[in-house]
Amino acid sequence: MKNNRQLTRAIQSNLNTQFVGKQLYYYDSVTSTMTVAREKAVKGAPEGTVIIADEQTSGRGRMGRTWLSPHGNLALSLILKPCLETLTRLVMITSLAVLQTIKLVANIDATIKWPNDVLIKDKKVCGILIESEIKGELVNYAIIGIGSNIYLDASNFSEISALATSIRQETVQAVSKTELTAILLSELETLYLAVKDGAPIHEEWKAHMDTLGKWVEVKSGKTTERGIAEDIMTNGSLVLRRADGTTAEILAGDVTVLKR
């Protein structure tokens, strides 16, 4: 078994990046890599700093939910310092980087469930959480949190067994966590730099979106809307066509696909 320093070296030696992962902290167990990353960002950690933990005791998900994070999963947070416009693209950048990584390590075509989930055969394999601190027009820092089921056997966890899968469950190929992590960080940096340079990303994101064309229920704060997921705007909003023909544009929310 490799220790954390060896794991850090194994990841960094496979990295193909200019700045992402040059500072990398690997822990056995933390409350949440988001919390550790935030502490480091506040203290001035450079852009590209990565926090990884084998286990999180208080992993957090979107909408205040907890995130199950036992050993064998990837729990990673990455500190970035984007401009406001790029900040709004981080979900797209991250989900596409996860898709490309899964394709490269396992030869699987994963899909995106709007706005933040990566699915394999309709089951969640990865969740993404973006947190940021903004002052006026300035983004002090953004933290991308990625929780990916690599080796987890979802059937051992009744809370998620019906909804989740893992890369290992879906492929016969051996999957190395360090290799996957290095590829993911490299893909993330490539896409991030491209978007910062003005590359469009929305059409590609939309092309991998599993949600479009389906009848869905979207919960967003205290509002619940139902309709056909019709389109995705360039800012990432979901356009929903209600049964009465009117449309709603939703910036963030939780989607449930309805059977009709």
Q: CB of 173 within 8 A of CB of 107? A: yes
For 73, the token pair is 């999963």
Burial of 3 (0-12, 13-18, 19+ CB in 10 A): exposed
3-class secondary structure, 183: helix
Torsions phi, psi of 12, nearest 5? -65, -35
HSE of 145, CA atoms in CB hemisphere, 13 A: 22
**Site membership for ligand BTN, residue 145 (CB under 6 A):** yes
**Site membership for ligand BTN, residue 181 (CB under 6 A):** no
**Site membership for ligand BTN, residue 32 (CB under 6 A):** yes
3-class secondary structure, 235: coil
**Site membership for ligand BTN, residue 34 (CB under 6 A):** yes
Sheet bearing 247-250, strands edge to edge: 247-250, 238-241, 223-232, 215-220, 254-257
Q: In this chain, which of 20, 41, 75, 91 binds ligand BTN, going by CB under 6 A?
A: 75
**Closer of 62 and 241 to ligand BTN (Cβ):** 62
Minimum separation from the CB atom of position 197 to ligand BTN (A):
27
**Site membership for ligand BTN, residue 142 (CB under 6 A):** no
State the residue number with the nearest CB to ligand BTN: 127
**Closer of 113 and 206 to ligand BTN (Cβ):** 113
**Site membership for ligand BTN, residue 56 (CB under 6 A):** yes
**Site membership for ligand BTN, residue 82 (CB under 6 A):** no
Minimum separation from the CB atom of position 85 to ligand BTN (A):
23
Minimum separation from the CB atom of position 30 to ligand BTN (A):
9
Spatial CA neighbour of 35 closest among 145, 125, 120: 145
**Site membership for ligand BTN, residue 149 (CB under 6 A):** no
**Closer of 12 and 95 to ligand BTN (Cβ):** 95
Interface with ligand BTN by CB under 6 A: which range of 28-36, 38-46, 187-195, 233-241? 28-36
**Site membership for ligand BTN, residue 127 (CB under 6 A):** yes
For 145, the token pair is 């949190």
**Site membership for ligand BTN, residue 38 (CB under 6 A):** no
DSSP result, 88-118: TTHHHHHHHHHHHHHHHHH----EEETTTEE
147 has which bridge partners?
75, 127
- Applying CB under 6 A, which residues contact ligand BTN? 32-34, 56, 59-62, 65, 67, 69, 75-77, 116-117, 127-129, 145-147
